[in-house]
Amino acid sequence: MSVPVLDIPLRPSRILAWGLLLLYGITALLLIWPPFTLPLRLLLGVFLLMAAWRAWRTWQLLTSILRLQVLPESYRLVTTKGDLDVRVAGQTVVTPWLMILYLRGGGRPLHLPLLPDTSSVEDRRRLRVWLRCK
């Protein structure tokens, strides 16, 4: 077992939660308000429910992540269901306000958004420096 270079405790993002609720709420209002025909409204409503279900499942996965451990060659996510070793699957987005890690573990991709309220300022700064230098 390798020793982590960085060990960052994570918590669920209230910014992401409120943003998703606002997005789906506005979308539902826009589906109800315009003069669409009933079949088109039903079809769009089904698509909205499917998208909301997928967002809910992703939100449950993101809230189950307790820690992000940066290893020398990969990452480890400590979840409520156990550890998950993941690797980088694509380009990582690094900005002062938002970091998105594109990871792959267990055969499926995971987009891990790290917003300002998911970890401490110092942990985010260390991770940002690690990602830019790697």
44 within some domain: yes
Cβ-Cβ contacts under 8 Å for 101 (sequence gap 6 or more): 75, 88, 92, 111, 112, 114
**Per-residue confidence band for 38, with pLDDT thresholds at 50, 70 and 90:** confident
Give the Cα separation of 34 and 30 in Å (integer): 7
End-to-end CA distance of the chain: 21
Count of structural domains within the chain: 1
Give the Cα separation of 81 and 124 in Å (integer): 24
pLDDT at 2 over 70: no
1 within some domain: no
pLDDT the model gives residue 108 = 80
Q: Which domain holds residue 71?
A: 6-133
Give the Cα separation of 71 and 95 in Å (integer): 21
- Is 79 in a helix, a strand, or coil? strand
pLDDT at 1 over 60: no
124 within some domain: yes
Q: What is the mean pLDDT of the chain?
A: 86
52 within some domain: yes
Paired tokens of 57: 């499942």
